[in-house]
């Protein structure tokens, strides 16, 4: 599962992750079609990634068939990130869940992350029950493709059109 707070950012990721057969689950997907998206993700072996907004998940959404959670952009209310992570780590989860948090180097985002995470976010943090959390410092590699894809028009993908 790749979480973002920005649907436009998920659109960019969808193109970058095309070879993994990404599916989308966010506010622009009609609620009557969301169960079908989850079913397809669960059953279709060609679908390896689901792109999800933090806010689109309904109460009680269970994704315990997922093992990897990527928080592409950080939500600065830790409870929202915990809720996103907990969607994969539910009763019935039989495997370890690995959480990867992406943070852009040299930004205020990195400074806030260092304050929030034990040990500055550089060491893996293992919570109870098999959840591993890792913070990935994003350098020019990932930022390069984001800039090439998203900033062509001179504004970030999450800005108003």
End-to-end CA distance of the chain: 27
Q: What is the pLDDT along the chain (161 residues), one digit of tens a residue?
A: 999 999 999 999 999 999 999 999 998 988 889 889 999 999 999 999 999 998 876 556 788 888 888 989 888 788 888 888 888 877 777 788 888 888 888 888 788 777 776 654 444 443 444 455 555 555 544 444 444 444 444 444 444 44
Calculate what percentage of the chain has a pLDDT beyond 90.
26
> What are the tokens at 54?
């933090």
Q: Is the pTM of this model over 0.85?
A: no
């Amino acid at each position: 599962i790749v979480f973002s707070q920005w649907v436009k950012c998920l659109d960019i990721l969808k193109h970058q992750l095309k070879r993994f057969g990404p599916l989308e689950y966010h506010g622009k997907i009609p609620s009557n079609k969301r169960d079908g998206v989850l079913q397809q993700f669960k059953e279709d072996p060609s679908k390896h990634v689901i792109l999800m907004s933090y806010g689109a998940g309904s109460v009680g959404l269970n994704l315990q068939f997922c093992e990897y959670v990527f928080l592409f952009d950080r939500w600065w209310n830790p409870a929202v990130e915990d809720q996103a992570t907990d969607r994969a780590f539910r009763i019935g989860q039989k495997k370890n869940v690995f959480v990867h948090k992406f943070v852009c180097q040299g930004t205020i985002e990195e400074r806030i992350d260092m304050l929030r995470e034990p040990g500055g976010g550089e060491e893996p943090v293992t919570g109870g029950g098999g959840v591993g959390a890792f913070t990935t410092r994003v350098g020019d590699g990932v930022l390069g493709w984001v800039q090439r894809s998203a900033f062509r028009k001179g504004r970030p993908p999450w800005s108003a059109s």
